[in-house]
Structure 1
Amino acid sequence: MKNQSDIEQQALPAGAGSRSPEVAFAASALGATLLAILAEGSTSHKSIADYLLRNQVRVTALGIEELADDCKVSTATISRFAREIGFKNFAAMRSAVAQTLQSVLQPVEKLRNSIARRQDASTPASDSLAYAGANIGATAMALAAADVDAVVKKLTRAKVVYVLGFGLSSHLAGILAAHLQPFCQHVVEVAGHGGTEVAAGHLTNITARDVLVVLSFPRYTRDVIRLTGFARDHGACIVSITDAPASPLAELGDHVLYAESSHPILPSSATAAVALIEALAVSLMASNKANVAKAARLTEAISAYLVGAEPAAGSTDKKRARRGATNNNT
């Protein structure tokens, strides 16, 4: 493990300031140490690392007893954890968290603090809308064009694109599948309304020529992790759409796109995820001339069913002919 001075002195990676707080914190030296523990540490140490990665602001205000209670471990375990990652004690670790957080703090966190200060004037509805706007802003700041382009190339070349989500994420998967359908060779919405058994059946034939786009936000389900692991073991490219580097999907993804999901009341917010799905869809649509032509043909195909749309000339002639035949019969 790195010692305390190494962690405190190492500069943040280039571009960290343009990311959401959770992503930028995870990209710091301290965040990298915590992610390593999250992947390979003991059960109790994983619990502490996960908490630190998800609750940096809160941690800076907690005492050791409160942190131990939240992580469901002993204070002695907290102290051992701090020493094992290179700090003299819990207080030194908490100070490093605060110092790292100060370097990566973004407007979304400032907005949350502002919301807290205006509690008397706010309502649950206004708070929820404020978080939604902040989440979209944080997601936009964290999204790198190169990451989106890499995913678009994988989707374009895939023989089959599988899209997976459970719970509320199943609806997000449905939205994404509908957007991808006209522009990919073949799209399969893995779970649909059938749940785990149907999803497992769809993934049985997944190969290295395919892509699995998997979506999951708090609260995560075990089945989505297990099925993603199955697809990965069979050589498929995994595109994870999730909320933070501490998400269990982050380490499974060949490509990871983050959508901020914080909410003052709900387990997670889907607002930024929908915005990210739309951003990915339009990037795919605009990625080549063939897709632009497909979009035009799709619009033409459905125009007759749209309110206010002008029907095609052939359709108008047929309707007139039918009306004339009806009038003659009467």
Structure 2
Amino acid sequence: MTAGNGVPADVAFVQSALGKVLAGVRAEGSASHRSIADYLMRNPMRGTALKIEEMAEGCKVSTATISRFARDIGFNSYGAMRSALAETLHTAMQPVEKLRSSIARRKASQSPGDASMEYAKANLATTHSANSPQVLDAVARKISGARAVYVLGLGMSSCLASMLTLHLQPFCGHVVEMAAAGGTEVAAGQLVHIRRGDVLVVFSFPRYSIDAMRLSQFARSQRATVIAITDSPSAPMVPLSDHVLYASGAHGVLPSSVVSAVATIEALVVSLMVSNKANVRKAARLGEVIGEYMVNGVAGGAV
């Protein structure tokens, strides 16, 4: 879902003045302040309704710490901070609510499949506006120049990891699909070899896997570069990552849609394929080799 200027609503919130303050505290504040900032960035709507005691319980801190946090980021009281949060969220979400209302009005005459297609269209538009060509190119260059590329997806994200691994293999010297059918234990065993100069690409969508976060933290401890492909700037993988690509996964029934994640994979791979002359030559050679096995000797996807 996007705001009126084409920016996704969750991105608009994070890019607001208050969102930037919270992001700064989450990155560099004390442990208790980081906990509060992270909670507010991941649950801004709830933050507008919670009493200070409820907020303290949710963040596992005292009410005095919540009050001090509000003052430290420029508000006279917790109530003033909550009002500012509501105002910021309203500004970011107003165009989204219009779109949701529009979809809701059409649901009476729509089949569930048609409604799902509407979510897919909205997610693709959101994802397109969230990832600039510069960001895609920077991530593609980082992957192309890596000594080894590790790709992690757990649960429903495992199919996305397999897809990206398949696309990367002709262009990267060493690509490891970490989990495959083995899950977390196999992934951890693969990650033992990761080190500086390597890249870990992590798919993280609702419901978020805490194992993916723990493995990412280990990769960071080994000075590897972590790239997240996730749904929102407030997703838990964002502060653990050096680079982030966003793929909106909003859906009325499913926990998360993967349509825009697939589009993001394709956009990233295309950026990587044309990122340098060597990759262009590899793409051409790949087409020639595969063409020998295709019907009528024709392979698609010429570069």
Same structural fold, with TM-score higher than 0.5 when normalized by the shorter chain: yes
Partner residue, 1:167: 155
Partner residue, 2:268: 280
% same residue: 51
Match for 1:127: what amino acid? A
CA drift at 1:27: 2.1
Match for 2:224: what amino acid? A
For the structure 1 residues 298 and 234, does the alpha-carbon distance in structure 2 shift closer, same or farther, using more than 3 Å as the test? same
Deviations 1:143-185 (A, max 9, x none): 1121111111111111111111111111111111111111112
Partner residue, 1:196: 184
Distance 2:219 2:199 in 1: 9
1:268 to 256, 259, 264: 256
Partner residue, 2:22: 34
Deviations 1:74-98 (A, max 9, x none): 9x95984656654455664444234
Distance 1:246 1:299 in 2: 40
Distance 1:45 1:232 in 2: 19
Structure 2 residue 230 is matched with structure 1 residue 242: yes
Q: Are the equivalent residues in 2 in contact too, given 1:20–1:106 (CA < 8 A)?
A: no
Alignment of 1:303-314 (within 5 A): 303-306=291-294, 308-310=295-297
Match for 1:310: what amino acid? G
Deviations 1:208-253 (A, max 9, x none): 1211111111111121111111111111111111112222211111
For the structure 1 residues 212 and 135, does the alpha-carbon distance in structure 2 shift closer, same or farther, using more than 3 Å as the test? same
Unaligned ranges ≥5, structure 2:
299-303
Match for 2:235: what amino acid? S
Q: Are the equivalent residues in 2 in contact too, given 1:164–1:173 (CA < 8 A)?
A: yes
CA drift at 1:59: 5.0
Q: Are the equivalent residues in 2 in contact too, given 1:143–1:258 (CA < 8 A)?
A: yes
Unaligned ranges ≥5, structure 1:
1-15, 312-330
Q: Are the equivalent residues in 2 in contact too, given 1:240–1:256 (CA < 8 A)?
A: yes
Distance 1:127 1:200 in 2: 39
Structure 2 residue 214 is matched with structure 1 residue 226: yes
Partner residue, 2:301: none
Structure 2 residue 116 is matched with structure 1 residue 128: yes
Distance 2:199 2:34 in 1: 33
TM-score normalised by the chain length of structure 2: 0.82
Structure 2 residue 203 is matched with structure 1 residue 215: yes
Aligned residues: CA RMSD: 3.2
Partner residue, 2:7: 19
Q: Are the equivalent residues in 1 in contact too, given 2:216–2:226 (CA < 8 A)?
A: yes
Structure 2 residue 205 is matched with structure 1 residue 205: no
Distance 2:225 2:37 in 1: 28
Distance 1:112 1:51 in 2: 25
SS of match in other structure, 1:183:
coil
Distance 1:72 1:83 in 2: 19
Q: Are the equivalent residues in 1 in contact too, given 2:227–2:241 (CA < 8 A)?
A: yes
For the structure 1 residues 250 and 72, does the alpha-carbon distance in structure 2 shift closer, same or farther, using more than 3 Å as the test? closer
How many residue pairs were aligned?
A: 290
Distance 2:96 2:284 in 1: 38
Alignment of 1:32-181 (within 5 A): 32-36=20-24, 38=26, 46=35, 49-50=37-38, 52-54=40-42, 56=44, 58=45, 63-64=49-50, 68=54, 77=63, 80=67, 85-88=73-76, 92-105=80-93, 110-181=98-169
Match for 1:133: what amino acid? K
CA drift at 1:54: 4.3
**Larger-Rg structure:** 1
For the structure 1 residues 51 and 262, does the alpha-carbon distance in structure 2 shift closer, same or farther, using more than 3 Å as the test? farther
Structure 2 residue 246 is matched with structure 1 residue 258: yes
SS of match in other structure, 1:240:
strand
Distance 1:82 1:50 in 2: 14
